[in-house]
Amino acid sequence: MDDSQIRALLEETLSDIDIKMSVIKKNDEYTIEEVHTDTKNTYNETKGSVDTLDKKCNMSCSRKTRSRPLCVFYGMMNIAFVNSCFYCPSTLRKITTNYCSHCNNPICGQHRARSVTLSKDRTL
């Protein structure tokens, strides 16, 4: 068989498959490469958000249950967890204050100095 017959045979075999393929000859070896069609590219672009959601759902609130409404509720909670990452990103600067347990005000110099001067070997 010559090259044109081998190529024709491979392309005829691949024509039965829905995915479009191309046959390329490199260094006396035939390789089959997938050709991305516009339909497949459009599908991949629109389907990406679902795959991204699956990747980001590493935390799950789901529990074993036989109740279908509870399964739906748990799924909605998982999606809400992911959405909370977008609405309240952790990269925002957080302004926090430490409150003193004695006077219930932001820590003043007097109580802070007292907490800093504790030695490491002293146990409470």
Domain boundaries defined on the chain: 3-34
Query: Would you call 33 helix, strand, or coil by DSSP?
Result: strand
How many angstroms from the chain centroid is the CA of residue 67? 28
* pLDDT tens by residue, 56-100: 666 667 677 888 888 888 888 877 877 776 655 555 565 556 666
pTM of the model: 0.30
Residue 29's pLDDT band, with cuts at 50, 70 and 90, is low
